Amino acid sequence: MTTEKIHNRQLAFILFIIRSTVTIATLPVLTTGTAAQDAWLSAIFSLVAVLLMILLVGGLGIKFPEQTVVEYSRELLGKTGGTLIGLVFLWYFLNIAATEVRIYAELLNIVFLHRTPLIFLVSSMVLLAAVAAVLGIETIGRTADALIFFYVFFLIASLLGAIKPFNPVNLQPVLARGLKPVLSSALTPAGLAGQYLVLGLLIPALTAPRKGVAYALLAAVFSGIVLVLTTVAVIGVLGPELGNSALFPFFSMTRAIEISDYLERIEALVVIAWGFGVFINIAVFLYAGARGLSQMVKIHDYRPLIGPMAVIWVILSIHTHENLFEVKKFFEPRSFFPYSMSVVILPYLLLWVAYLLRRAGREGEKYREKRPREPE
Amino acid sequence: MLRPYGRFFLKLAAVLCLCSFFTAGCWDNREPEWTARALLLAFDLDEENMYEATIMLANPIFQGGGQDGGGGGGGQTKLPFWVHSARGHTPYEAVLNLSQRTTRMIKFSHTQILLFSEKLARAGVWPVFEFFMRNRELRLDIQTAVVDGDLKELLRSEFPLEFLPSTGINRLLRITSLERSIIPDSRLLEKIIEYTRPGEEMILARLKVLSQKNGESQGQGGQEESGQSPPGPPAEIIGAAVFRGEKLVGWFDGHETRGQNWIRNTLQTGVITVELPEKDGLAGIEIIKMQSKIEPKRSGEEIRITVELKALGRLQDLVTPPGVTPRLDPEFVQSLENRFAEAIRRDCKRALSRAQELKADIFGFGNAVYRKFPRLWEEELEARWEETFCRLAVEFLVDADLDWPGMILTPPTRG
């Protein structure tokens, strides 16, 4: 049924961008939890969580290389159960992506366009993403191909700028208060690993679905490296306290960088990279959401769904959170981690159990089929 | 399936591109003619404890002619800048109140300097820092200092080599810290980090206003008629303002500030004058390189601090009475090196004793302890660090080397 294909490389780019954009945006390892100067350790912990998540989602995905998660969950759990799980996933896509585009709009609103209505910023971003989603996953994949160079270049340029004002004293003492604060800061980024649910819908679109997991892991490792480096740079430049209270720490850091008398204000790079990232993010989520929904209600083509979904998306991103304080609260480890885990991990565990039971059942059947011959 | 959509979007994109030709511009456009750029912000407290913000705006209609500051005849000549102030209950209100007397929209994104009056510094500077961190136009990579003297007079005065006083103050701060190291690091961001770091106090540069009118700091400046002779320097940057918490508690002089720079490894260059071994002359030594390390040691309950200092100097001049020619042999150099080290130690000790007097740990000794013994710090020392610091035993291990003799070795003798 799927005719459009993306290369595994493009999948890796997409996943890398999705994950790193969160880093550029709010750097949750530093702004949630209490790890302060040890946040880079939390970053490593959250990387482990992401890798596990990929094994969980991707591992099941490659068992059904032709099907999306919506399809095989129906096969595994029956019609009702499968549809329910599919709905849960779709809700999660919607919620996370709506929040993400909201944060981007808030940044533009706070820093650059402080009189532009949020809805304008959000809807222009969603419109762009919707166009990409209508044109299909191939287009999104190629866009990722085209943007990744700028994305990585801007990231590296900003990080290089941090070398001069970097002060290692800010990173000490290491692990002074034990592991507990470190873990508390790792929870929200680990919860955000739920973004990799898109793997469940992207794997059937790959040219080599069985290698998808390996590419996803590679992307996660690279984005993990970016996360660790960024965290170290932000703490080294801004100090743990200011970094912790900044709304957009990476952006604040680049604002504080003065490379020389003539070369300063490199924060534009960060915002551009962030914009690219949000675009890819929303486009992929919108595609995945529409694709999933179309399979759920058995519509042959997902494209007609995108228009209405985009509208719902815009409304949700404006109305889920009253203001930025509530967005911040949404990402608090105490509430976000359990939410994310129950929405992502529980359904997947259910799917895995169903899958393993079925396989065990099949093997049992084979065994039973064989047994009568044994006496011969 | 892809085709019809692709074609539609291609058309749409073409239309949008065309639109961009006709709709260039902003819907809420603010012409550059409507705006004025702030160069410097200064904060003061008035008698009723209201914040008073003083702003220096670049004059957009100033015509840069060949000579400046020459005649000053008639109303035609406009100054390149304009200074005025307004009051408010909070720093933000004060800054906002500036606008009702400004004919243009004030833009803050090019602000270079943040100054505090002594009065505000004694009352607490944190509200202003908070405002700077929160504001979207102001930045943290600017220079900051505390003004010792009349703030308004400083902003009205003219810096002989510069167009704008703000540029003057900016260069004064940067260049003095590069060449003399008699002021602390004066970047705003650095100050905020110092404030938030546990076991460390803030130290800001001190900008001393030199009065032009009564010429008290200029010798016989009073005799000369103004306008006849070129003006003297309006301000001098020397020493530091020492804070405890967010409040100013005292001043450091140049030597003490340099001592602080030695200890905290922020020294750039500077000059140290030492006596010659025979006590028959002086040698000027330029500091080229230095490195210091604060090492806290713990023996039972007691905390000791060792500061290891490595310095490299370059001989710049020798002042000897006529007829005396020192021989620059190894013993002589060794003896100079010892004196060099002694001079550094003296700087450091002066800074330490003055800081202990003010009960302000500006060296970050507490922070060094916190970094090395975080448990001990959090459980015991944090609460009583101020008194611990006042009795703290600090050892300075100085290793000073003298490197280049310059272009000559032993000075040529006469006859």
pLDDT tens readout for residues B99-114: 888 888 888 888 889 9
Mean residue pLDDT of chain B comes to 82
Write out pLDDT tens, residues B49-60: 899 999 988 887
Query: SS3 for B38?
Result: strand
B133 touches chain A (CB under 8 A): yes
**pLDDT score of A143 more than 70:** yes
Helices A137-161, A267-296: axis angle to 10 degrees equals: 150
Average pLDDT (A282-302) is 87
Determine which of B15, B20, B189, B197 to mutate to test the interface with A (most A C-beta atoms within 10 Å): B189
DSSP state of B100: G
What pLDDT is stored for residue A39 in this prediction? 86
Average pLDDT score over residue span A44-56: 89
Q: Does B104 touch chain A (CB under 8 A)?
A: no
CB contact under 8 A, A238 and B193: yes
Residues on chain B touching A167 (C-beta within 8 angstroms): 193
The nearest CA of chain A is from the CA of B313 a distance in Å of 25
Q: A323: buried, middle or exposed (CB in 10 Å: 19+, 13-18, 0-12)?
A: exposed
Compute the distance between CA of residue A302 and CA of residue A133 in angstroms, rounded to an integer: 10
**Integer Cα distance of B46 and B88 in angstroms:** 10
Of B9, B133, B141, the CB nearest to A258: B141
The more confidently predicted of residues B277 and B127 is: B127
The least confident of A243-247, B216-220, B327-331 is B216-220
pLDDT over threshold 80, residue A374: no
Per-residue pLDDT at B3: 58
Q: Residue A83 and residue A92: Cα distance in Å, rounded?
A: 14
Percent of chain B beyond pLDDT 90?
Answer: 9
* Axis crossing angle, helix A333-370 with helix A180-192, rounded to the nearest 10: 70
pTM: 0.85
How far apart are the CA of A264 and the nearest CA of chain B, in angstroms? Answer: 9
Strongest mean pLDDT among A8-12, A59-63, B381-385? A8-12
Whether B370 and A173 lie within 8 Å, measured CB to CB: yes
Range name among A76-85, A116-125, A279-288, B403-412 with the lowest pLDDT average: B403-412
Rounded alpha-carbon distances, angstroms, from residue A146 to A48, A104, A149, A277, B382: 29, 21, 7, 12, 53
Least confident stretch, A82-91, B52-61, B401-410 = B401-410
Rounded to the nearest angstrom, the gap between the alpha carbon of residue A168 and the centroid of all alpha carbons in its chain is 30
Average pLDDT over residues B383-410: 83
- Residues B295 and B308: beta-carbon distance below 8 Å: yes
Phi-psi region of A73 (alpha: psi -120 to 50; beta: other; left: phi over 0): alpha
Q: Sort out which chain B residues have CB atoms less than 8 A from A170's CB and list them.
A: 193, 197
Please tell me the predicted confidence (pLDDT) of residue A205: 86
Q: Taking CB atoms and an 8 Å limit, are B374 and A176 in contact across chains?
A: yes
In whole angstroms, give the CA distance from residue B275 to residue B282. Answer: 4
pLDDT given for residue B61 in this prediction = 76
C-alpha–C-alpha distance, residues A39 and A170, integer Å: 12
**Has residue A325 got a pLDDT over 80?**
yes
Q: Are strands B235-244 and B203-209 parallel, antiparallel or unpaired?
A: antiparallel
**Mutate which of B7, B193, B363, B377 to test chain A, going by most A C-beta atoms within 10 A?**
B193
Mean pLDDT, rounded, for A159-178: 84
Residue A7 has pLDDT above 50, yes or no: yes
Which range has the top average pLDDT, A58-67, A158-167, B121-130, B135-144? B121-130
* 3-class DSSP state of A301: coil
d(CA A184, CA A335): 12
Which pLDDT score is estimated for B62? 73
The pLDDT of residue B327:
75
CA–CA separation, B314 vs B333, rounded Å?
11
SS3 content of chain B, % helix, strand, coil (to 5): 35, 30, 35
Sorted by sequence, the CB contacts under 8 Å of residue A240 that are 6+ apart come out as A30, A36, A37, A39, A170
CA contacts within 13 A on the Cβ side of B69: 14
pLDDT tens column, B342-355 = 888 988 999 899 98
Chain B nearest-CA residue for A171: B371
Pairing mode, strands B203-209 and B81-88:
unpaired
Alpha carbon A305 to its chain centroid, in Å, reads: 22
